[in-house]
Structure 1
Amino acid sequence: MDTDIRHPGVKSVGWSLVQAARLHRSRTGDKLSDLGLFAGQEQVLQALSHSGPMTMGDLAVILRVRPPTASKTISRLASLKLVERHTEPGDARVVRVKLTREGKKKASAINALWDEVENELLAGFDNKDRKRLRKLLRRAAKNLASITGADPSSFDGDDEVDEPTSVEEPLAATA
């Protein structure tokens, strides 16, 4: 009996990407549970930590979720006293969200956790490999974003200008 069973998609880039993403999400989820959080909540705290107070609509856009999904997550985080909601003076329909002091502490812990999991994920990768992988994943995301109607520019990074990674392997410039 052959015990070397492999998924038929094992040579597919998409399949490999999905497997890596699942394992990354699982590892991150395990570490988030140590902080009393669930997967997805960290993204809200990171977004607010990075951008400061924002409207629910802006938060939904950044997270690439529908406003009711963002609202539900904010309600849970508010019950944990990690975020506060305030209506906009003059227009009570606009709700702004900001981190509490405890939320800022959690966001800092999340950043450390995120770095730790990323280092585990990319163990054995040098800086050149990491940069190249980041660029390739952004390019792939942009390809799908342009097809699905998502904003491709939201996948632009701080290192968008491609440089050759070696003499033998020049990269084509990304647009």
Structure 2
Amino acid sequence: MKHPVAKSIGWALVYAARLHRSRIGERLASMGLFPGQEQVLQALASGEPTTMGELADLLRVKPPTASKTVARLAAQGLVERRSEPGDARIIVVSLTKEGAEKVAAIDALWRETEAQLLDDLDSKDRKRLRKHLRKMAKNLSGKGPNGRSLPGDEDDDAELDEPVAA
């Protein structure tokens, strides 16, 4: 049976996103992680301590969602939380050594999955697709929270033009 909106771009986008998320989820499970947790670890990969508010803003989730995820990651020893000196209400989160090692594994599985996702698209098609997806995201949400651009807007398109290593 064909879905009534199967020919719509939105439907194709949702379907591809679900398949991508499912593939990533399977691979994360083998690493002892749930979908969404990898995004927190990747967000902290810069090595700079991040407040819970900044983390929630970056991930575009509500603070309680970020807090629950960070608590689970802290229980696994992948992140550490500490109060900001001078204001115990502000919680700062950073990766542990184990968390940084997990990020490297996450990055590898992400690259492998992206290589599969984009297998028969050349660099021109990849660049065009990325550009169109960013435009669609902007059409739906405009600027991010606090006037920030959407993730990836600030980068140079040349970065992802290189073929993805499998």
Fold match (TM-score > 0.5): yes
Report the residue type matching 2:118 in the other structure.
L
Deviations 1:69-107 (A, max 9, x none): 000000000000000001011110111000000000001
Deviations 1:116-173 (A, max 9, x none): 1111111111111111101100000001012997857224142369xxxxxxxxxxxx
What are the equivalent positions in structure 2 for 1:9-158 lying under 5 Å apart? 9-50=5-46, 52-146=48-142, 151=147, 153-155=149-151, 156-158=153-155
RCO comparison, higher one (Cα < 8 Å, 6+)? 2
Q: 1:9 to 1:51 in 2, by over 3 A?
A: farther
* TM-score normalised by structure 1 residue count: 0.84
Alignment check: 8 A CA contact 1:145 1:151 kept: no
Q: How many correspondences in the alignment?
A: 157
Q: Which has the larger radius of gyration?
A: 1
Runs of 4+ in 1 over 4 A off after TM superposition: 147-152
Query: Which ranges of structure 2 fall in alignment gaps of 5 or more residues?
Result: 159-166
Query: Which ranges of structure 1 fall in alignment gaps of 5 or more residues?
Result: 162-175
Alignment check: 8 A CA contact 1:83 1:97 kept: yes
Q: What CA RMSD, in Å, does the superposition of the two structures yield over aligned residues? A: 2.0
Q: 1:51 to 1:14 in 2, by over 3 A?
A: farther
* d(CA) in 2 for partners of 1:147, 1:64: 12
SS at structure 2 position matched to 1:62: helix
Shift of 1:33: 0.6
